[in-house]
Structure 1
Amino acid sequence: MFDDRLLIPHGFYQPGDLLIGGIVSQVLFLYNNLSFMEQPAKILINEPISVPKNYQHVMAFAFAVKEINENLNILSNVSLGFHILNSYYTAGMTYKATLNLLSTQQRFVTNFKCHHQSKLIALIGGCISEISANVAIISAIHKIPQVLYILFQLTYGSFLPVKSIRMQFPFLYQMVPNETHQHTGVVLLLQHFRWTWVGLLAVADDKGDQFLQTMVPMLSENGICSAFIDRIPKRAYFDELIDLMIKRWENYVIISDKKVNALFVYGEPPSFQILRVLLFLAPFLSLPPLCKVWIITSHWDFASLSVQKIWDIQTFHGAISFTVHSKQPQGFQKFIQTIRPSWVKGDGFVQDFWEQAFSCSLKVYNGLGERKKVCTGEEKLESLSGILFEGKMTGHSYNVYNAVYAVAHALNKISSQHRSFRGSLKLQDVQPWQVHHILRRIAFNNSEGDTVSFDENGELVTSFDITNWLMFPNGSVVRVKVGRLEPQAPQGKQLAINDDQIVWNQGFNQVLPLSVCNENCYPGYSRKKKEGKKFCCYDCAPCPEGMISHQKDMDACVNCPEDQYPNKDQTQCIPKIISYLSYREDLAIALTSLAIIFSFVTIVVLGIFMKHKDTPIVKANNRMLTYILLFSLLLCFLCSLLFIGQPGKATCLLRQTTFGIVFSVALSSVLAKTITVVVAFMGTKPGSRMRKWVGKRLANSVVLSCSFIQAAICTLWLSSAPPFPGRDMHSVKGEIILECNEGSVSMFYCVLGYMGFLAIVSFIVAFLARKLPNSFNETKFITFSMLVFCSVWLSFIPTYLSRKGKYMVAVEIFSILSSSAGLLGCIFSPKCYVIVLRPELNSREQLVRKRK
């Protein structure tokens, strides 16, 4: 049971027709740990320890009530008062303070009030979740709405999940959004800066366990690894501090890992104070200072205890926090400038605040008889360092301000409803549960234009400011808003941050710090997992041939589209160029020129033979076969032009078949000439049966039959699998080859094979007949021409297969031209020499002499 004679020593009371209760945590005491082995010790330090910055919460409360009472548009006939008590960060004192607010003055008799006592209409309080829960338990029994201005509601913490909260604490309202929004925001922040190797520091209690169970999988799902996890004590008793230092800093080497530059810290104000103690003692243990980016949620406000005001806090310089969106109400800074130790009679906080903030005493001697500097009472709050007290309204104080206004607007709405439908109503008769029903649907704009409303779970609908904390050696603190988190925004637009405004810790020299397990894999490389390591630790492997990676840290290289190819560094895809043997290229121009020149030479030779058609040298070797051979050679030279230029449907159909048939006619003519020589020699012998074959019938039959077979092969090719225009994407890097797809490769080689067969037969027959005694014998020249022809086409096959694209076509054109030129030169150049330069040899007498 509580001793009703022991009242809460720290409180602030201002009378009014209706009272709003408040629970704050500005003062605390240090106790020894309870061992249950001896009589519990009393307070170790007689003087309370103040958290000066939290006094602003009290000021925000008083300022909001003052504004409401002066505003004729809100509760014009009713004055608001408040009764604020301190929780001392302990459950016992929180229960006691709550019961004190619900009881008659000076007595712990709940549900009983004197007739002159003002009614408590709502409770605003709870700077940490444990205190909020303790207040909620009592207020729920009495059905009094409780508005939490700094509620850290966990997914699984001191409060149950959202649905269970509404069932167990239906009168609970939270002036901050659900904490999961902040966790999502941290993930987005880490992704924004590409920090994938981060450290996690969590308070060592059930809430910290639940945080890690939620956060670690969330980080992994988003490609982020926890390099280490360490726990911060929830609180430490005075006699445990030394042992705690030794135990906790065994992990200091791990925390100081230079690869881990981002630390996500989860805890509440008491755990922050413990962390400050550990960091303060690090230099005394010869430990290096930490140079990190501290990422925190709205739990922390970087508030120092009065005994810590000279401690260096620059370790946290450049920290980034998610704070509930706030603004600066007009008149607040002017209001706090009026505060003095005796500014109002009912303020029981101001004396301890003043003495500990300014390190002076309002009395000549303190309780221990030790002389201290005497406070003048005129000290300026703006002279205090920002770690102790801030002149601008903090996010937590802004929540207090809005919470008071939410209650006032709810009362005002009740009053207006009764005037409209039921006549006048005395607000003094309104029950707290009635305020609860209005608060559920309340929505209003505060003096700064921000909308205040709650969702179906009793949580404030608002956004978060991303704040960059600047800590200076003189203790001053500057908050810079560098971005915003909008939980209700569409996916991908929730986080907005201005990188250029962020000031990093001095150790980073204003360069964006890296927090990765290893260096990034640059474009052109992909990540390769290290065995036995977390997925954020990897090696960088170059992309395989033909693949690229165009971003940092790609899990795998990717193929380019078919019409593109990788650049030299394999970092991007470049469009392939269209490639074919164009008439504009030097190679094509050279080949075209050769084809035209040889064609012209062939025409000249044909003209010579036609002009001298009646001469013996022309008649002796079957004049008609000579014309057929020369005309076919002319077509051979000209058909090479079908291979130059962009392939089309017609050219693809004609290209190989025309070449095959024309060449077969030429080879057939050569074979017929050779056979004619052999038959003519054999027919000159007495009684030879070959005499009947001597003449044009045999030659014509050979040419027609041999050419017909090639024409039949080509017809079968065109009817079964004809050539067609195609695009070769892969043979040559960086090129799309426009080519004629042969349709059937076997038929193509059948055409070439048949020509080879004719050439070999011609070569064999000519070789065997090369020494026959005949005037103007051609077999020697045919033998040499077939040798050239076979050599060209035998070398053609490996050369053709080893080339790609337009060079493959060029090889075939060159083979056509060179083999045709070989036939033309070897067979006809000796005859042209005789006809043109040695006409005396082209006579019948010479023919008879040679025969004899």
Structure 2
Amino acid sequence: MHAMKHNYTTMPDPLRCSGSIVTRELRNSRAMIFAIEEINNSTELLPGIKLGYQIYDSCASVPVSVHVAFQLSSGLDPMFYIGDNCSQSGKMMAIVGESGSTPSISMSHIIGPFNIPQVSYFATCACLSDKQQYPSFFRTIPSDQFQADALAKLVKHFGWTWIGAIRSDSDYGNNGMASFLDAAHKEGICVEYSESFNKYQPRSRIQRVADIIRRSTAMVIVAFIISGDLTILLEELSLKPSPPRQWIGSESWVTNPDMLRFSLCAGAVGFGIERSVIPGLRDFLLDLSPSKVAASPVFTEFWEDAFNCRLGKSEKNVCDGSEDIETIQSPYTDTSQLRITNMVYKAVYAIAHAIHNAVCQESYAITHCDKLTSIESKQVLTQLKKVKFSQNGYDVSFDANGDPVATYELVNWQKTESGSIELVAVGHYDASLPVGQELHINRNFTWVEGSTEVPVSVCSDSCPAGTRKVLQKGKPICCYDCIPCPEGEISNATDSPDCFPCPKEFWPNAKRDTCLPKPVEFLSFNEALGIILAAFSVGGACLAIITAAVFHRHRTSPIVRANNSELSFLLLFSLTLCFLCSLTFIGEPSEWSCMLRHTAFGITFVLCISCVLGKTIVVLMAFKATLPGRNVMKWFGPSQQRLTVVSFTFIQVIICTLWLILSPPFPMKNLTTYKERIILECALGSSIGFWAVLGYIGLLAVFCFVLAVLARKLPDNFNEAKLITFSMLIFCAVWITFIPAYVSSPGKFTVAVEIFAILASSFGLILCIFAPKCFIILFKPEKNTKKHLMNKSQS
């Protein structure tokens, strides 16, 4: 449009358009005429009534659109048809248009109060769905709200979470991008930058946007922009090499054939209005006789631009009449991609159906229309809200917001073998389908730089299972670091925001992406430590049996008879049991084994210590009996010795019985000692019972040790007191060190410490008490005589 300077002294000139004609819009206007002529020739729709029309060129300018709106609402326009058959000529029933959102908003504000319905075929701003502000606005193209949702779902579908956004600085771009950003936020998509501009702004502004795109890290750019603005930006980007970018486009440019010349956008993906076929339209468009062309300034300009000749009396490049419109390649003649043109076609038919419903009635399957009936635009507006019909295979209806059912065709810019770019339909989107099923893809894509692999556009790579996302300070939620899950916790999904702990009896694997049952650990016969301890246990029992066999073989020898053979055999028997009871500590704990191991240990050890104590008392009594006037042995004969052993042992039996009745040991899974494995062990049940058993053994051992110390210097060559002293010293040392070792040892080593204490004290007793005697019996038989015994005793 020409810029005007006002001096405010004269009336300004009328608004005049400048530049060349847009042949796509020319095709749209011709499609409107074609639809009106179809309706006027129809015997079903408005039979007997002719529709008139008048076409205005707004030049995509708000001032021109406002000027036209005022003209139409005032009713001062020239009559459409002059003649007696036109009953309401000059009366405006409805408006088809505008194509742009911003001009449509301006027009709707003016004509809305007059209840003049406005049906746009290309104004997609979501703001126009507000019936409070735009009560008379309808459209046959879906709202940008649906397109924004579709674009957000498309971006999410391909895993792009880090994108750039550019938009036209207009109602279309700003509102469309606002809707998209809101939908993208709900889908978890982050925007690195969001810039707006238009072609009327200074070049520095365009350069700034281009530089932002070049410096950005986002691979994907979503462009809610009109073709004219994007053209300027792409030309700027072409001046200086830019990193490859994957373009995602809105309907306004991604299906525009004029934009396919920009190879910079090869691989672009976007949503377009579904392609359609309008039978007869191509023939109508090509039906341009020289007289029609010459009679219309618009057709004259189109003809002269298309054939590069001049109509009229020009001296050079005169059109000679041989020009054939079918030979030119122009959007006007290209009916292979009818998208917006079909929206014009449907808009005209929607208005015609609204008028039909207002003036026509059906009676006995015969439609009667009264062309003399005077109707107002408000009646057409009311009927337009109820319109629902199918024309040429296309369903047309409007919801409460004046919007149609939103369906789109998913298109992809693919390079052909010749190097040109063509639009290829690769899927579709239907907003009426259930959530998650709206997008359907049925063909392969060609991406940026001809790649068949989906480009990656993320701020941070996905966090694998076993890690969690930690947001980077000051950056969007899509920018994060991947932190390994802490000990004992896992994450089993990618991009997990949190780790969660495993159940008590489970532990993470090395990758920390799954919970595995904790290994159950106990002192087993299959492991080295268990085998060694079991071998020593069996070896000790065998040693005790062998010693008993040696003593039995030489039971009549002086050294055996002099050392109380009955108590010696009972002691060897108890030592055998002590060695064997350590085997109950090895293997998987069970209810019975837990009760058996502690009670068997306590009773056999008391039996063993009772025998040692009996032998010590016998030594003392024997020495006292050798003194003149003393006959104490009659008070501690064999019967008393047996009674002493039984009495001391019976006390331990009572203690163990009370322990088992009140709070017995039981198998338990220890989950606290080690986090990564389960220790299967025997819980004491009652700690008092356990320490009572040990305390009683310790009390007897200390008592025995004291008596042995008192008798250690008695003049007897085979005096056992010295040997008992050493054995009790070892026994007490072992069990004193056992207590801290037992308390501090973890897991199965607690059991190992207990077994070691049993074996060490048992070996101490058998080696200190019986080894010297066996050595004399087997290797020094000359000393195993009564004479030798008596001589040493006298000395």
Shorter chain as denominator, the TM-score bin is 0.7 to 0.9
| Structure 2 residue identity aligned to 1:378 | D
For 1:786 and 1:332, the matched residues in 2 are separated by 120
Q: State the partner residue of 1:543.
A: 485
1:681 aligns with 2:644: no
Q: What CA deviation, in whole Å up to 9, does each residue of 1:274-324 have, x standing for no partner?
A: 33213313455xx4335322333334445477xxx8x95223223332334
Measure the CA separation in 2 of the matches of 1:803 and 1:389. 93
In the alignment, is residue 281 of structure 1 matched against residue 236 of structure 2? yes
Q: Which residue of 2 aligns with 1:12?
A: none
Among 599, 606, 628, the alignment partner of 1:657 is 599
The reply on whether 1:626 has 2:568 as its aligned counterpart is: yes
Pairing of 1:55-454 with structure 2 (within 5 A): 55-58=26-29, 60-61=31-32, 83-98=54-69, 106=78, 114-115=86-87, 117=89, 122-137=94-109, 139-154=111-126, 157=127, 159=128, 162-165=130-133, 168-169=134-135, 171-205=136-170, 219-220=184-185, 222-233=187-198, 236=200, 244-267=202-225, 269=226, 272-284=227-239, 287-289=240-242, 291-301=244-254, 303=256, 313-324=262-273, 326-329=274-277, 331=279, 335=283, 338=286, 350-353=299-302, 355-356=304-305, 358=306, 360-361=308-309, 363=311, 377-380=323-326, 383-384=329-330, 391-407=335-351, 418-419=362-363, 424-426=368-370, 429=373, 431=375, 432-448=377-393, 451-454=395-398
Per-residue CA shift, 1:8-55, capped at 9, x if unaligned?
A: xxxxxxxxxxxxxxxxxxxxxx43376889999979998632333444
For residue 670 of structure 1, the aligned residue among 602, 606, 612 is 612
Out of 427, 447, 458, which is 1:504 matched to? 447
Confirm or deny: 8 A CA contact 1:34 1:40 kept in the other structure.
no
Shift of 1:259: 1.2
Distance 1:68 1:393, change over 3 A: farther
The C-alpha deviation readout for 1:151-196, integer Å capped at 9, x for no partner, is 3233xx4x4x63524xx51x33233444333333444344334433
Q: How far off is 1:99 after superposition?
A: 6.3
Instruction: From the superposition, tell whether residues 848 and 213 of structure 1 become closer, same or farther in structure 2 (CA, over 3 Å).
Output: same
CA separation in 1, counterparts of 2:378 and 2:505? 72
Using the TM superposition, give the Cα deviation of residue 492 of structure 1 relative to its aligned residue in structure 2, in angstroms.
4.4
SS in 1 for 2:422: strand
On the 8 A contact 1:100/1:107 being kept in 2, the answer is no
Q: What residue identity is the alignment partner of 1:467?
A: V
Query: Alpha-carbon deviation of 1:256?
Result: 1.9
CA contact (8 A) 1:86 1:97 kept: no
Contact kept, 8 Å, 1:149 with 1:399, in 2: the verdict is yes
In structure 2, give the amino acid aligned to 1:503: T
Residues 207, 423 of structure 1: alpha-carbon distance in 2 compared, 3 angstrom cutoff: closer
Query: Which residue of structure 2 lines up, in the alignment, with residue 11 of structure 1?
Result: none
SS in 2 for 1:541: strand
* Alpha-carbon distance change, 130 to 631 in structure 1, aligned in 2, over 3 angstroms: same
How far residue 125 of structure 1 moved from its aligned partner, in angstroms, is 1.8
The equivalent of 1:459 in structure 2 is: 403
Determine what percentage of the aligned residue pairs are the same residue: 33
Task: Return the alpha-carbon distance in structure 2 between the equivalents of residues 416 and 616 of structure 1.
Answer: 142
3-state SS, counterpart of residue 152 of structure 1 = coil
CA distance in 1, matches of 2:426, 2:172: 29
1:637 aligns with 2:579: yes
**How many aligned residue pairs are there?**
790
Query: Measured at CA, do residues 406 and 115 of structure 1 come closer, stay the same or move farther in structure 2, by a change above 3 Å?
Result: closer
Q: Which runs of 5+ in 2 are unaligned?
A: none
Change (3 A) 1:579 1:423: same
Q: Is the 8 A contact 1:314 1:473 kept in 2?
A: no
Cα distance between partner residues in 2 of 1:827 and 1:341: 136
Superposed CA RMSD? 4.7
Equivalent of 1:723 in 659, 665, 674: 665
Contact 1:104 1:117 in 2 (8 A): no
The reply to whether residue 741 of structure 1 matches residue 741 of structure 2 is no
Matched-pair contact (CA < 8 Å) for 2:523–2:588: yes
Report the residue type matching 2:385 in the other structure.
Answer: R
Distance (whole Å) between structure 2 residues aligned to residue 836 and residue 293 of structure 1: 98
Give the letter aligned to residue 204 of structure 2. Answer: I
Name the SS for the 2:221 alignment partner.
strand
Aligned-residue offset at 1:246? 1.9
Name the CA distance, whole Å, in 2 between partners of 1:737 and 1:336. Answer: 90
State how far apart, in whole Å, the 2-side matches of 1:144 and 1:382 are.
39
Tell me the distance in 2 between the aligned counterparts of 1:486 and 1:745: 73
SS in 2 for 1:661: helix
Deviates more, 1:257-266 or 1:293-302: 293-302
User: Could you tell me whether the CA contact under 8 Å between 1:273 and 1:304 is conserved in 2?
Assistant: no
AA matched with 1:250 = R
CA offsets, 1:571-591, max 9 Å, x none? 443443444445555655555
The secondary structure found in structure 2 opposite 1:321 is strand
Q: Distance in 2 between matches of 1:837 and 1:139?
A: 132
- Asked if 2 retains the 8 angstrom alpha-carbon contact of 1:725 and 1:738, the reply is yes
Distance 1:108 1:81 in 2: 6
Cα deviation for residue 799 of structure 1 reads 6.0
Instruction: Please identify the structure whose Cα radius of gyration is greater.
Output: 2
Give deviations 1:646-695, integer Å, cap 9, x for gaps: 33333333333333333333334334433443444345444669767644
Task: Indicate how the Cα distance of structure 1 residues 811 and 194 shifts in structure 2: closer, same or farther if over 3 A, else same.
Answer: farther
- Picking from 491, 512, 531, the partner of 1:570 is 512
Cα distance in 1 for partners of 2:697, 2:549 equals 27
* 1:762-818 superposed Cα distances (whole Å, 9 cap, x missing partner): 556545644443353334444444455456556656665666544554454454445
The residue aligned with 1:23 is none
Contact kept in structure 1, 2:591 and 2:666, CA below 8 Å: yes
Alignment partners' CA distance in 2, 1:763 and 1:750: 20
- Aligned to 1:294, the other structure's residue is in SS state strand
Deviation at 1:245, TM superposition (A): 0.5
Deviation track 1:609-657 (CA, whole Å, cap 9, x = no partner) reads 5566565444443444334433333333333343344333333333333
What's the TM-score, normalizing by structure 1? Answer: 0.77
Equivalent residues of 2:102, 2:172 under 8 A apart? no
Q: Report the alpha carbon displacement of residue 90 of structure 1 after superposing the two structures with TM.
A: 1.8
CA gap 1:44/1:68 in 2 versus in 1, 3 angstroms:
closer
